[in-house]
Structure 1
């Protein structure tokens, strides 16, 4: 078995290496950006020395290394495993933050505001999973150094998820499914009461109720919209977006 290599078909260069040598080699590979190689060293370290002082550190770093190596599934699994095995570890707040980042998909998130892609077109499950991880971090570790950034991302995700609901409601309006549109917009408002997307959700409700001839409900929604957004652009522009929502704030 020692003659087989997980790096190729030749002898295993790491045979007989100490835990410290495996760990230092993993760190060197990370510095070089050789993420696949770093992951292999950490995997070998954990399997060969499961109870040594480096094993826990290897488990902690594997999530990040997998993520940088474009293996988000393995990265999330590593994060979940670390949280399960070490719920009281001093760095578990970092693992929650990392889990949130992986799901958040930074390239299409806050760092992607210059992109032309609407973030609400992304996978809603990933957004919810990111929200859950960041929320757990903020609630359990309010003094963590990662909490301020997690809070900002939470605010972004709330509006993204609310906007996903409103996008569906707008689609129903276009299809003439006005009851479904009103219900979906109302769901967005109830689920995400502080989201900026609720301005559009209220206008969707006004439009849907007006089409249905439900004047009392239309007037109620109109009153709430005028009270909370007296200068709403939707009275002028309607439901046609001239600027992408994620570039408005």
Structure 2
């Protein structure tokens, strides 16, 4: 009986000690879970103080120390953001695409797409000479809006998209006018129709429509010239370009229902 009692006490002590060890372990794990947050806050403080190299080093250390945590992913994004701030666009571009490919279900993946678009947007220097980054930015912002229409970054993306498309439209206007002066009417026409069809309405849209009127008129396509002039007048009745088109075709046209249907196909983005 005494031996049985000793055995029972031994078992109870073992269970108690094991329970204590478990509680201690759980407490240590819980405390450790707070450490990456503290380290992240400290790294963020360095970033706010514009101590970019130190901040990036801290974020990279968090990645290594807590590789499977959410703090690791947040730190990875911040490290890429610092590359962007340091104008190291090549590394930033490569790493943000790698992040998107590897972590498509990350809870803030919309920010990754936004950062990707910003990286190309900031590299727009002289779109008149090279529209590579302009076109890439347009594609990236459109992708962000398409994938995440309700994202808090979509509104800024839409604003930047308007600026980008205005830049692209301006380039097409210059090229179109060059072709027009060379009497290469078809090449010019394609540029002006591209401005109307591919971009949202912008400051170049009325002139592009007028140039289309000019080209149709020069080619003897008077009916088409009159219809485009009517579209121009319907959408921009106070525009100087409409007055020029009106003087060219010699009369004001009123869009009937068929013309409005045709106009909506030509100008599917103009309300």
Relative to the length of structure 2, the TM-score reads: 0.64
Query: CA separation in 2, counterparts of 1:193 and 1:134?
Result: 14
Alignment equivalent of 1:63, drawn from 68, 72, 80: 80
Query: CA separation in 1, counterparts of 2:200 and 2:51?
Result: 45
By how many angstroms is 1:184 displaced?
1.5
Relative to the length of structure 1, the TM-score reads: 0.69
State the aligned residue count.
Answer: 211
1:80 maps to which residue?
97
Is the CA contact 2:172–2:195 (under 8 Å) kept in the aligned structure 1?
yes
Question: 5 Å matches for 1:56-205?
Answer: 56-105=73-122, 121=128, 123-192=130-199, 194-205=201-212
1:38 maps to which residue?
55
RMSD: 3.3
Q: Which runs of 5+ in 1 are unaligned?
A: 1-17, 109-118, 239-249
By how many angstroms is 1:69 displaced?
0.4
Larger Rg: 2
Q: Which runs of 5+ in 2 are unaligned?
A: 1-34, 246-271
Query: CA separation in 2, counterparts of 1:101 and 1:41?
Result: 24
Is the CA contact 1:134–1:150 (under 8 Å) kept in the aligned structure 2?
yes
Alignment equivalent of 1:206, drawn from 203, 213, 227: 213
Question: Any idea what the Cα deviations from partners look like across 1:118-139, whole Å, max 9, x if unmatched?
Answer: x753742322322233223323
Question: Any idea what the Cα deviations from partners look like across 1:151-188, whole Å, max 9, x if unmatched?
Answer: 22223333333333223212212333222111211222
Query: CA separation in 2, counterparts of 1:194 and 1:177?
Result: 25
Summarize the Cα distance change of 1:156–1:86 in structure 2 as closer, same or farther, 3 Å threshold.
same
Q: Which has the higher contact order (CA 8 A, sep 6+)?
A: 1
Query: CA separation in 2, counterparts of 1:51 and 1:198?
Result: 51
Is the CA contact 2:229–2:242 (under 8 Å) kept in the aligned structure 1?
no
1:245 maps to which residue?
none
By how many angstroms is 1:26 displaced?
4.2
Query: CA separation in 2, counterparts of 1:120 and 1:211?
Result: 30
